């Protein structure tokens, strides 16, 4: 798991450096999840996921470093004054967009494990003139925020990259206020695919091999106290594998299942 985590960290560190220098943050070889600016097929991993107006209002480096499979800010129904957390914030595109949507009375946090991505995200936020964006170094399995501290959790093609997904789901429930919600873009497999079959369709670092199935996502969210769960396939990224929108609401009951963290074998990267 540690080796896999380091592979992901190294790949996305290189993507951050490339984006900061004006190049594509993701190569066309399946080496990462996709790219908003210059990689991926339209409608799968690519520029169709963000509107032209959204991209034009962002620093170029933010789009070059955006390695996601969706646009979670478009589905999270963000409101003025809310506190938002982006798991695996990468170059900061979704944090910047979220910060603008919640306004000056709201806060948008981004958590990422890669120093190069964090530095790039901070530069991008400064260039965009966004002052209510805060980037924190950390693992998505051990979020450096207190319990019941955020209204919304978003993430863009990152949870599939974790080797301890149960811990990620538990952390989302922990940091959300009762009644808080998630709006996540991720790669999700059809239920008939085995883990081995998912691995045949693409690499772990490329956001394919590590994807949960729809039923695994559903049961995982239920286990940590989420309700009103919906998992909607939006576009195919491989045979039996789809970009998906995952929504759920954290139970308003205070007592949630306690899941012990598995440790530091955590993987989190792209935005």
Tell me the per-residue pLDDT of 46-68, one tens digit each, with 9 for 90 and over. 444 666 666 666 555 555 545 56
205 occurs within a structural domain: yes
The pair of three-digit structure tokens given for residue 50, joined into one six-digit string: 């963000």
Please report, rounded to a whole number, the percentage of residues in the chain having pLDDT higher than 90.
Answer: 53
Range of the domain at 238: 2-250
186 occurs within a structural domain: yes
Mean pLDDT lowest among 23-32, 131-140, 167-176:
23-32
For residues 78 and 61, which has the higher predicted lDDT (pLDDT)?
A: 78
In the prediction, which pLDDT does 268 show?
35
CA dist list (Å): 73 to 25, 31, 180, 206: 21, 25, 15, 22
Q: Cα(202)–Cα(238) distance, rounded to whole angstroms?
A: 8
* CATH code for the domain in which residue 210 is found: 3.40.50.150
Closest CA to 217 of 252, 244, 235: 244
* Beta carbons of 117 and 89 less than 8 angstroms apart: yes
Q: Cα(123)–Cα(199) distance, rounded to whole angstroms?
A: 36
- For the residues 128-138, what does the mean pLDDT come to? 96
Contact residues for 7 (Cβ-Cβ < 8 A; gap 6+): 204, 205
In the prediction, which pLDDT does 29 show?
46
107 occurs within a structural domain: yes
In the prediction, which pLDDT does 265 show?
36
For residues 23 and 153, which has the higher predicted lDDT (pLDDT)?
A: 153
131 occurs within a structural domain: yes
- For the residues 71-90, what does the mean pLDDT come to? 90
Residue 84: its H or E element:
strand 83-87
Contact residues for 208 (Cβ-Cβ < 8 A; gap 6+): 160, 187, 198, 199, 201, 202, 237, 238, 241
pTM metric for this prediction: 0.81
Domain count, the chain: 1
226 occurs within a structural domain: yes
Residue 228 pLDDT grade (very low, low, confident, very high; cuts 50, 70, 90): very high
26 occurs within a structural domain: yes
Contact residues for 238 (Cβ-Cβ < 8 A; gap 6+): 201, 202, 208
Average pLDDT value for the chain = 80
* Beta carbons of 241 and 187 less than 8 angstroms apart: yes
* Beta carbons of 76 and 108 less than 8 angstroms apart: no
- For the residues 22-34, what does the mean pLDDT come to? 54
Q: Cα(118)–Cα(90) distance, rounded to whole angstroms?
A: 7
In the prediction, which pLDDT does 209 show?
85
- 16 pLDDT higher than 70: no
50 occurs within a structural domain: yes
Contact residues for 270 (Cβ-Cβ < 8 A; gap 6+): 12, 15, 32, 33, 66, 67, 68, 88, 90, 156, 157, 158, 161, 207
Q: Cα(194)–Cα(215) distance, rounded to whole angstroms?
A: 12
260 occurs within a structural domain: no
């Amino acid at each position: 798991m540690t080796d896999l985590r380091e592979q992901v960290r190294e790949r996305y560190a290189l993507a951050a450096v490339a984006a900061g220098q004006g190049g594509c943050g993701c190569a066309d070889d399946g080496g990462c999840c996709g790219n908003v600016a210059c990689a991926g097929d339209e409608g799968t991993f690519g520029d169709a996921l963000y509107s032209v107006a959204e991209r034009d209002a962002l620093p170029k480096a933010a789009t070059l470093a955006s390695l996601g499979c969706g646009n979670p800010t478009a589905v999270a129904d963000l409101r003025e004054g809310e506190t938002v957390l982006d798991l695996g914030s990468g170059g900061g595109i979704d944090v910047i967009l979220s910060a603008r949507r919640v306004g000056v009375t709201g806060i948008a946090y981004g958590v990422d494990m890669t120093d190069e991505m964090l530095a790039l995200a901070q530069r991008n936020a400064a260039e965009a003139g966004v002052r209510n964006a805060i980037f924190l170094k950390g693992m998505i399995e051990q979020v450096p925020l207190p319990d019941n501290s955020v209204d919304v959790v978003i993430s863009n093609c990152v949870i599939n990259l974790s080797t301890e997904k149960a811990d990620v789901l538990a952390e989302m429930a922990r940091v959300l206020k009762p009644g808080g919600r998630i709006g996540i873009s991720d790669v999700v497999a059809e239920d008939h695919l085995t883990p081995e079959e998912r691995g045949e369709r693409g690499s772990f670092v490329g956001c394919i091999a590590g994807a949960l199935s729809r039923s695994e996502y559903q049961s995982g969210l239920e286990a940590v106290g989420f309700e009103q769960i919906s998992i909607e396939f939006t576009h195919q990224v491989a045979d039996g594998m789809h970009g998906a929108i995952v929504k759920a609401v954290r139970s308003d009951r205070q007592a949630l299942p306690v899941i012990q963290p598995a440790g530091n074998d955590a993987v989190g990267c792209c935005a």
